Amino acid sequence: MQEEFKSYMCIVCGLIYNEEEGWPDDDIAPGTRWEEVPETWMCPDCGVTKCDFEMVEIA
């Protein structure tokens, strides 16, 4: 059984990274798990790094 996709929110600006959607503008394909997003990836809105994102539940 495949694990559900998760979402991660930037704690600085509120941008949401959704694993199901990926981030095609930065060549992160849909379905890319958070663990697979490069450590060098930065929030496209405010420029912080992955360490400033937290997993969130989206209903």
Confidence band, pLDDT 50/70/90 cuts, at residue 23: very high
Q: At a CB cut-off of 8 Å and minimum separation 6, what does 17 contact?
A: 7, 8, 9, 10, 23, 34, 37, 53
CA gap 26, 2 in Å, rounded: 25
List, for residues 31-48, the tens digit of each pLDDT value. 999 999 999 999 999 999
Single pTM value for the model: 0.89
In this predicted structure, what is the pLDDT of residue 1?
65
List, for residues 6-20, the tens digit of each pLDDT value. 999 999 999 999 999
Radius of gyration of the chain (CA): 11
